[in-house]
Amino acid sequence: MSNILVVEDDSDLRDTYAEILEFEGYSVHGVGSSADAIDSLIKLKPDLVILDMQLNGESGTVVLSFIRKYPRLAATKVIIASGFVDMGMRAREWGADMFLAKPITAKLLISSIEGLLREQTERLHNLDSGS
């Protein structure tokens, strides 16, 4: 069972993401601030992070920088989920694997997560087999 961290300061939306993902069988942990996000990243080492960029405390870019610098999180996939639609053009250069503009339908969210986790599994498999 894959482990997903939802970093979203709007508690209603955080709960909605959690309901959708738990229904699909994922283990989900939600936080609303960058400080809590960094704590959870260290403790949980999630397979995937859904990251809002405007958070309580420091911005989501701080969380994203932490993920990309912390070696234990090298395989962690990151989806930026933001209402700033134009941010999509810069998401990749910040180190995110994907950008989704809010509102994200349940179908799109699930298919995006499935695609990234499949990619992650294949990559880890290739590393294990030395190819």
Partner 1 sequence: MSEQSPSLSTSVLLLRQMSHEMRTPLAALINTGDLFAGGMYGKLTEKQQKAADRVQRTSHRVLTILEDFVSYVKAESMDYPLIDEEFEPRKLIAGVISQIGNEAKKSTIPIQIMTPDNLPDKIIGDKSAVQRILLALLWNAIAATHHGSITISSEWSAEKGWIINIQDTGTGISKEDEEHIFEAFWRGKDRPQVSTSGCGLGLPLARSLARVMNGNLVLVKTSAEGSLFSVELFQKLPHL
Contact status, residue 42 vs residue 31, Cβ threshold 8 Å: no
Contact status, residue 63 vs residue 55, Cβ threshold 8 Å: yes
Minimum distance from CB of 2 to partner 1 (Å)? 20
Residue whose CB is less far from partner 1, 44 or 57: 57
Report d(CA 99, CA 83) in Å as an integer: 10
The interface with partner 1 within residues 21-50 (CB under 8 A) comprises 23
Residue range at the interface with partner 1 (CB under 8 A); choices 35-43, 69-77, 79-87, 112-120: 79-87
Binding status of residue 66 toward partner 1 by CB under 8 A: no
- Give which of 123, 109, 100, 99 is closest to 26, Cα–Cα: 109
Tell me how many degrees the CA angle 58-96-55 measures, rounded to the nearest 5.
20
List of residues contacting partner 1 (CB under 8 A): 10, 12-13, 15-17, 19-20, 23, 52-54, 59, 61, 65, 82-87, 89, 94, 101-106
